[in-house]
């Protein structure tokens, strides 16, 4: 049993933050299914909000960040080529 717990702890440390977040979301969704009536809405709202935030981050923020890095790279490569074009 101790070996299984050690494996779970080891695996948890290997996962990235977003992977841990999805596991936590799954826990709250499962708890929302079995929760009594007034609390089930809260337990469904928590993971749905987290999933919305991560989806927004993936769809918007990561794309903007990648575009910004590409812009900076192209800008750095552009000036030397303009300089050398007069020679």
pLDDT tens for each residue of 34-87? 889 888 888 889 888 988 888 888 888 889 999 999 999 988 887 777 666 666
The encoded tokens of residue 27 equal 């826990």
The model's pTM is: 0.56
Sign of the dihedral through C-alpha 49, 54, 55, 60: positive
Task: Give 10: exposed, middle or buried? Use CB within 10 Å, 0-12, 13-18, 19+.
Answer: exposed
């Amino acid at each position: 049993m101790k070996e299984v717990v050690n494996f779970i702890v080891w695996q948890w440390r290997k996962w990235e933050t977003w992977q841990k977040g999805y596991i936590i979301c799954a826990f709250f969704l499962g708890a929302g299914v079995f929760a009594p009536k007034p609390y089930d809405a809260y337990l469904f709202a928590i993971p749905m909000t987290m999933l919305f935030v991560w989806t927004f981050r993936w769809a918007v923020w990561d794309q903007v960040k990648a575009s910004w890095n590409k812009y900076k790279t192209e800008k750095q490569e552009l000036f030397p080529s303009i300089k050398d074009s007069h020679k």
